[in-house]
């Protein structure tokens, strides 16, 4: 064996020793997507590359998933759910909804996590090569160019869920994020708050931008000038919410209310307020977005916008299954489904005090 061949031979550290498509790709010196194209007899592969891949398959005695299913005459639909969501509460509701609908529709869901720092293109190619018939994308992967490019090139029916701006070529299930944020801000204004802090979501996601615009529009409609100092950048994580709330509450003229772009960051704002000796909602109103389980497991329970996450993921499964079973998958990119949201009022909001105590610094 030559040195180059030895370098290309994949390490076999799995307990089962069963070869995978990644092993084939490594041995052949090609991408996982190329192996998938060879397995599925797609035309856009050079014959020399096809021969190399087939030789690697034979050497490893690899049994491709899709081929095995076809030989067995299996007809059950398999859907992929690719995720890398920083909010465990959001993700939990999303997966539960999709699994419930998959069970009802008698289809399989293949759930795959993209690890921090993992190559997004390779991760998506691995999902495609697993033999799934369609893919569901929660945020933030629902708008990630590397992911969407691979799925488009593979001709994979895809549904992006909880996006405010549907990517070209895929279906989308969403709420009206701008209207929801405008309604929540108007609710706070109606309570008498005029200095309302806003914790923005990840700047690369359309839903974040729409929620910020909804906040700005409500202020403008009330005749209140937008104050950039009252907007703190978050990233939909609890940690980022802590930092953002700390900055807002440290302002000389601090806000009397904070509206966070998701419940994780709202919960973080409540924690910062409590640590600083402020009562929620007597001294500070805090509201969130999503209405995940976290919203009702902290005290006080959060006033929030209910985005029906589980319902949205169920609709994604339902849409894919309907189109695939009716052999109309080419229609997938024409679907834009908007579901209703709801402002849910709980214990974390109240009218502002005339004079709020200063934030107390921890010793």
Whole-angstrom distance, CA of residue 226 vs CA of residue 100? 43
Q: How far is CA 120 from CA 85, 113, 125, 161, 260, in A?
A: 14, 11, 8, 18, 28
What is the per-residue pLDDT for 4?
A: 44
Closest CA to 202 of 227, 165, 233, 247: 233
Helices 21-28 and 47-60: crossing angle in degrees, nearest 10, is: 120
Q: What are the E-state strand segments in 166-273?
A: 171-174, 196-200, 231-233, 257-260
What is the per-residue pLDDT for 63?
A: 64
Confidence grade of residue 349 (pLDDT, cut at 50, 70, 90): very high
Find how far residue 323's CA is from the centre of its chain: 23
Whole-angstrom distance, CA of residue 9 vs CA of residue 31? 14
- Residue 197 is classified by DSSP as E
- Is pLDDT at 30 greater than 90 in this prediction? no
Q: What is the mean pLDDT of residues 313-341?
A: 91
Residues 6+ apart with CB under 8 A from 285: 188, 191, 193, 256, 257, 258, 303, 348, 349, 350, 352
Which of the pair, 194 or 360, is modelled with greater confidence?
Answer: 194
What is the per-residue pLDDT for 75?
A: 60
Asked whether the beta carbons of 63 and 268 are under 8 A apart, the reply is no
The whole model's pTM is what? 0.80
Which of helix, strand or coil describes residue 351?
Answer: coil
- Is pLDDT at 172 greater than 50 in this prediction? yes
End-to-end CA distance of the chain: 66
Q: What is the mean pLDDT of residues 346-354?
A: 93
Whole-angstrom distance, CA of residue 74 vs CA of residue 106? 13
- Is pLDDT at 99 greater than 80 in this prediction? yes
- β-strand 303-306 against 342-344: which pairing, if any? antiparallel
What is the per-residue pLDDT for 151?
A: 95
- Is pLDDT at 74 greater than 50 in this prediction? no
What is the per-residue pLDDT for 22?
A: 79
Whole-angstrom distance, CA of residue 190 vs CA of residue 274? 25
- Residue 283 is classified by DSSP as T
Whole-angstrom distance, CA of residue 122 vs CA of residue 124? 5
Confidence grade of residue 116 (pLDDT, cut at 50, 70, 90): confident
Confidence grade of residue 21 (pLDDT, cut at 50, 70, 90): confident
Asked whether the beta carbons of 295 and 346 are under 8 A apart, the reply is yes
Asked whether the beta carbons of 50 and 42 are under 8 A apart, the reply is no
DSSP 101-122: HHHHHT-EEEEEE--TT--HHH
Phi, psi of 161 (to 5 degrees): -110, 140
Which of the pair, 168 or 195, is modelled with greater confidence?
Answer: 195
What value does the mean pLDDT of the chain take?
88
What is the per-residue pLDDT for 117?
A: 87
Confidence grade of residue 18 (pLDDT, cut at 50, 70, 90): low
> For tokens 């029916």, what's the residue?
157
- Is pLDDT at 69 greater than 60 in this prediction? no
Whole-angstrom distance, CA of residue 245 vs CA of residue 288? 13
Whole-angstrom distance, CA of residue 57 vs CA of residue 191? 67
Residue 136 token pair: 């569901």
Digit-coded pLDDT (tens) for 138-165: 999 999 999 999 999 999 999 999 999 8
Q: What is the mean pLDDT of residues 199-217?
A: 97
What is the per-residue pLDDT for 210?
A: 98
Closest CA to 220 of 244, 200, 196: 196
Which of the pair, 63 or 341, is modelled with greater confidence?
Answer: 341
């Amino acid at each position: 064996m030559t040195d180059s061949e030895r370098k290309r031979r994949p390490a076999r550290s799995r307990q089962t020793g069963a070869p995978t498509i990644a092993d084939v790709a490594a041995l052949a010196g090609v991408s996982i997507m190329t192996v998938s194209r060879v397995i599925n007899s797609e035309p856009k592969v050079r014959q020399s590359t096809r021969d190399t891949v087939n030789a690697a398959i034979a050497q490893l005695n690899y049994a491709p998933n899709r081929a095995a299913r076809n030989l067995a005459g299996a007809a059950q639909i398999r859907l992929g759910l690719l995720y890398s969501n920083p909010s465990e509460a959001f993700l939990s509701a999303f997966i539960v909804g999709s699994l419930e609908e998959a069970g009802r529709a008698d289809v399989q869901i293949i759930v795959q996590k993209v690890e921090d720092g993992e190559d997004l293109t390779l991760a998506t190619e691995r999902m495609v090569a697993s033999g799934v018939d369609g893919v569901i994308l929660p945020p933030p992967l629902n708008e990630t160019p590397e992911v969407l490019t691979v799925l488009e090139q593979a001709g994979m029916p895809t549904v992006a869920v909880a996006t405010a701006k549907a990517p070209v070529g895929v279906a989308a299930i969403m709420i009206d994020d701008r209207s929801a944020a405008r309604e929540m801000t108007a609710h706070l204004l109606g309570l008498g708050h005029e200095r309302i802090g806003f914790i923005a979501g990840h700047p690369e996601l359309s839903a974040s931008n729409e929620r910020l615009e909804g906040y700005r529009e409500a202020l403008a409609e009330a005749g209140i000038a937008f104050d950039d100092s009252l907007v703190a950048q978050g990233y939909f994580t609890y940690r980022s919410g802590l930092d953002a709330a700390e900055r807002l509450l440290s302002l000389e003229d601090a806000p009397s209310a904070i509206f966070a772009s998701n419940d994780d960051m709202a919960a973080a704002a409540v924690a910062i307020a409590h640590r600083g000796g402020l009562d929620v909602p007597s001294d500070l109103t805090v509201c969130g977005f999503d209405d995940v389980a976290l919203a009702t497991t902290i005290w006080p329970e959060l006033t929030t916008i209910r985005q029906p996450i589980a319902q949205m993921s169920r609709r994604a499964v339902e849409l894919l299954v309907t189109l695939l079973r009716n052999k109309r998958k080419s229609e997938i990119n024409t679907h834009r489904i908007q579901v209703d949201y709801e402002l849910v009022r709980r214990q974390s909001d109240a009218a502002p005090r005339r004079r709020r105590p200063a934030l107390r610094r921890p010793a």
